[in-house]
Amino acid sequence: IPVANKNKKLSYKDNLELTELPLKIETLENKVSTIQAKMNEDGFYTQDFSYTQPVIDDLAACEQALEAAYARWDELEELQQS
């Protein structure tokens, strides 16, 4: 009896993406942590808007990218297991 290929439902591209997602997620989590630490520094919010707003925007973008990466990882894991 042949053993079913665990990645049978995933294309090569999807399988490659699935293997790369943990590193992408880790990188995004580290970036979010770094930005949050910067925002938690004393006096961050007393600085000029032209400095603080790009940092806040960057945090929002990183959090959205992280959420999308987790969603994609879940999607690929589900495909792999079906």
Q: Is 2 inside any structural domain?
A: no
> Does the structure show a pLDDT above 50 at 1?
no
Q: Is 6 inside any structural domain?
A: no
- How many other C-beta atoms can be found within 10 angstroms of the C-beta atom of residue 69? 19
| Cα–Cα distance for residue pair 9/44, rounded to 1 Å | 48
Mean predicted confidence (pLDDT) in 67-79: 96
| Cα–Cα distance for residue pair 17/13, rounded to 1 Å | 6
Q: Is 4 inside any structural domain?
A: no
CATH number, residue 23: 1.10.287.380
Q: Is 7 inside any structural domain?
A: no
Q: Is 39 inside any structural domain?
A: yes
Q: Is 1 inside any structural domain?
A: no
pLDDT tens sequence across 33-62? 999 999 999 999 999 999 999 999 999 999
**How many domains does the chain contain in total?**
1
- State both tokens at 35: 């930005």
> Does the structure show a pLDDT above 60 at 3?
no
| Cα–Cα distance for residue pair 74/77, rounded to 1 Å | 5
Helix residue ranges, H only, the chain = 12-40, 49-81
